[in-house]
Amino acid sequence: MYRNRKSRQKRRQRAVDEQVGQINKGLDGMMLSTVLEDNVAIMQNLFADVDVFQVRRLESRDGGLRFALMYCDGMINNEFVELSIVSPLLSASVPEGDATDYLATQALKVTEIKKTGDIREIVEGVSYGSTLLFVDGSAQALLMDTKGFETRAVAEPESERTLTGPREGFNENLLTNLTLLRRKVRSNELKMKMRVFGRRTRTQACICYMDGLVNKSILAELQRRLDAVDIDGVLDTHYLEELIQDSRTSLFRTIGSTERPDVVVGKLLEGRIAILVDGSPVALTVPYLFVENFQSGEDYYYSHYYASFARMLRIVGFFLTVIVPGLYISVVAFHHEMLPTQLLTNMATERNSVPLPAALEAVVMLLVFDLLRETGARMPGNVGQALSIVGALVIGQAAVEAKMVAAPMIIMVALTATTSLLVPKLNAPIIYVRFFLLFLASMFGFYGLALGASAVLIHVLNLRSFGVQVLTLTGDLSKHEVRDTWIRDPWWLMKLRPRIAADRARMQDNANMQNAGGGQ
Amino acid sequence: MRKRAALAALIIICAALTGGCWNYRSMNDMTITTGVAVDRDPETGLYHLSFEYVDLSGPVKEQGIAAGLLETYGVTMFDAARNAKKRVTNKVYLGHIELVVLDEEVARESDIVTTMDFFLRDAECRETVCVAVSQMETAKELLRLEGVGQPMVAYEIHNIIEEDRRVTASTIYNPVYKIYNIIYSEGIELTLPAVRSVPNDGSITCEVNGIAVFKNGRLVGYLSPEESKYFLFVMGEVEGGVITCSASGEGPEDTALEIHRSNTKRSFRWRDGQLSVQVEVEVVVYLDETAALIDLMEPSVIQQVEASGAQKLVRGIADMIQRVRTEYRSDIFGFGNMICKQDHKLWEQLKDNWDEVFVNMPVEITCKVDIVNTAYLKKT
């Protein structure tokens, strides 16, 4: 029985492998010819039914050589191709020998030229705005970088607006994004390793890190996991995130993401690693500690007093949004002694005429809020007013007046809803944990609440991000470990990098602190 | 150390959050009661409990909550409390009771331990429930009154009694847990606040009226509000209130001293088989009102007023102690308890005829009044 299943599995795996192999079969083992027309035919065959694929035949003025230029229409900078490729070719007089070498080194005015006979590389290049040049008599082609397609401007990211500090955000072009990083770090220490993901999309991705700071074992672990990625398309970094994170089933994220280059560089300087993918404005950063959920890039541009306050506020907000519904139900249904008498009579008055039990009412109201929120996120901007009127008036006021919902419940939902927007990075866990605690609280009161909260805490304590514990409860509150967590100390106090960095001394004149810090 | 602190915090939080009676009970399913009057039915001899409950049936949002009375009978307190269910849909909820009024007759005839047992033992009731003795025909009458600006008369009475010590010093606040402690301590007798109804602006409202004195768990008599103040001085529980006296030491009382703080030292002396008790009271006061034409910038005048106030206190305390000793023979001051704690051997020797010793021993009272402030006016 068992063997049967195993062999069936094996067979299925083989079928998948075969299928996947067929996708790229056409390109493997194909050779270019020395005859120009043959090469043109090969390319036209590969790009059959691709009407944007253009072939342009040229002949040098002295009639010595024939060329074929190939590109995808709209992907290249026409003017540039005209000036730097077409006109030099027309006037080229090629000496004896390999024409491609001569053209690449002496005639063509293009910065990036690659001589290749690899059809796969050629196809990828042409698809991505390169211009391909075949010369009659050569079995090698020249692939020239002539990208000229439109990209979105570098603008402030919508999801991470700040009041102060750098306003740049990534766009969908990998190279632009890399320049945004490179501009901030004028050093060869910033390493950028390119790789390709996606069997079909062949998407470029880049792994960035600071050579002296990164923890080598984390880097090796990341490489190992990326090597194992096998997917046909990568349209956004989150495709990768789900494939490489430590706990695939956990609600809590163990990989960070941001659209801001200043945040990425900040993380790199703390010894973290960033992954950027072409076509996505979101960069991933690893390892990702739990406390990063409550940090914002902006914290470092404000006064540390304000930033520390804001961080504590976010942490409090997280606890409130997760625990308030459960707390409310516990108090209303189990522990009436906890309420001051005045409040109890007020709440009893409110609850007196309401049909649903409190727990069910809470679930319904929270779901209604989630519905409103999701609708708000998905709807076109110009119908927003209608939604807010329906949400505020109908569901809020009218429901209370019609005695369908108790007023304290509306207050509770409002508090839960507002605080949940404080920590957008935790939006998924918040929803589930909130309902989990609400359920337990409606069964067992405070006891259930305490039990559920402990379970969540234990789960988070067990999470790892690339081998690093995301949350530690060692009781070690020594100063250097809390410098940049729930508070943000001023820079002159943050002499050490966080524990994940290989080189912990942040400030030169305090280099000896490294040993002190390591000893703790 | 930090770990230990964190652990302690965890235990406290868990204890605080997981305590209490533990079952699902929606707020619509309970009758919230705020006070209870304990009477005994003269014909059947059953306990007759009258619960004051929060009436949520009316237009509460516009008019605020209203109070109602729910009467019930039973062989024991708990029996009576459960019998209330015969008359209402929702079980009575005792977690927010703040006042238990004992009928005078009940207090006189049955031991307080037996009547209070339910309120101490029941899981719902708070240990801070205030217990008072009604001076009315029945205790139920008190709960039928309306408080001044407060529909729930039970809360009104509870708050009056609890705040009293800081403002008027005319009665004592003994919640259930203290009653228990006093009853099971040696050499001290119980005192409870006494409450009655008085006419007020055309209607009738409640008023605290001194202290009810118990002996061996049974009511034996009352102290007037004035005497209660002196009693509180002896107990060292005065935190506010007024001493009136004559500025010159003779004639009508024309000066009021506001008590800022007071301190009482009590001690005893055992010499030659004779026990004596010393009570030293030190009061810091503000001169708040005087109708005497005196120059308050003159130190000798101030000293005169201080001496007069002290004299008034000494006389008041002595008279009060004497009345308690002769009329009630009840050691409500806890002099015996003081001896028991400080010299247990002596107490063992005395306790068998403590009543005699208590009534006959000399009590020395010294008072010191210190005027620290005469407010804004130099002269009158």
In chain A, whose CA is at the least distance from the CA of B60? A349
Q: Do A379 and A387 meet the contact criterion of CB atoms below 8 Å apart?
A: yes
Q: With a cut of 0.85, is the ipTM above it?
A: no
Give the pLDDT band of residue B380 (cuts 50, 70, 90). Answer: low
Domain regions of chain B by residue span: 23-223, 230-373
Q: Do A395 and A372 meet the contact criterion of CB atoms below 8 Å apart?
A: yes
Q: Does the beta carbon of B101 lie under 8 angstroms from any beta carbon of chain A?
A: no
Identity of residue A282: V
Predicted confidence at residue B21, as pLDDT, reads 58
Q: State the pTM of this model.
A: 0.81
Question: What is the interface size between A and B, counted as CB pairs within 8 Å?
Answer: 81
Q: Is A57's pLDDT higher than 50?
A: yes
Residue to substitute from A353, A446, A449, A477, interface B, most B β-carbons within 10 A: A446
Q: Do A453 and A437 meet the contact criterion of CB atoms below 8 Å apart?
A: yes
Contact between chains at A334 and B25 (C-beta distance less than 8 A) = yes
Q: What is the DSSP string of A29-42?
A: T----SSHHHHHHH
d(CA B170, CA A97): 120
d(CA A203, CA A196): 5
Contact between chains at A351 and B28 (C-beta distance less than 8 A) = yes
CB nearest B65 (choices: A334, A349, A443): A349
Domain regions of chain A by residue span: 36-145, 174-288, 304-465, 479-519
> Tens digit of pLDDT for each residue in A144-192?
998 888 888 899 988 888 888 898 999 999 999 999 999 999 999 999 9
Kindly report the nearest CA distance between residue A406 and chain B, in angstroms. Answer: 12
DSSP designation for A426: G
CA distances (Å), origin B306, targets A90, B169, B236: 121, 20, 19
How are strands ordered across the β-sheet holding A190-197? A190-197, A203-210, A273-277, A283-286, A256-258
Predicted confidence at residue B50, as pLDDT, reads 93
Q: Does the beta carbon of B86 lie under 8 angstroms from any beta carbon of chain A?
A: no
Predicted confidence at residue A478, as pLDDT, reads 60
Give contacts of B2 with chain A, Cβ < 8 Å.
Answer: 475, 477
Instruction: Report the topology of domain B230-373.
Output: GMP Synthetase; Chain A, domain 3 (3.30.300)
Is A335 in a helix, a strand, or coil?
coil
> Tens digit of pLDDT for each residue in A94-142?
777 778 888 888 888 888 888 888 888 888 888 888 999 998 888 888 9
Give the pLDDT band of residue B228 (cuts 50, 70, 90). Answer: very high
What are the start-end ranges of the E strands in A103-153? 113-116, 130-135, 141-145
**Residues 6 or more apart from B64 whose CB is under 8 A from it?**
B151
Reduce the secondary structure of chain B to three states and give it as a string.
CHHHHHHHHHHHHHHHHHCCCCCCCCHHHEEEEEEEEEEECCCCCCEEEEEEEEECCCCHHHHCCEEEEEEEEECCHHHHHHHHHHCCCCEEECCCCCEEEECHHHHHHCCHHHHHHHHHHCCCCCCCCEEEEECCCCHHHHHCCCECCECCHHHHHHHHHHHHHHHCCCCCCCEHHHHHHHHCCCCCCCEEEEEEEEEECCEEEEEEEEEEEEECCEEEEEECHHHHHHHHHHHCCCCCCEEEECCCCCCCCCEEEEEEEEEEEEEEEEECCEEEEEEEEEEEEEEEEECCCCECCCHHHHHHHHHHHHHHHHHHHHHHHHHHHHHHCCCCCCHHHHHHHHCHHHHHHHHHHHHHHHHHCCEEEEEEEEEEECCCCCEC
Q: Is A463's pLDDT higher than 50?
A: yes
Which stretch of A70-79, A177-186, A369-378 has the lowest confidence by average pLDDT?
A: A369-378
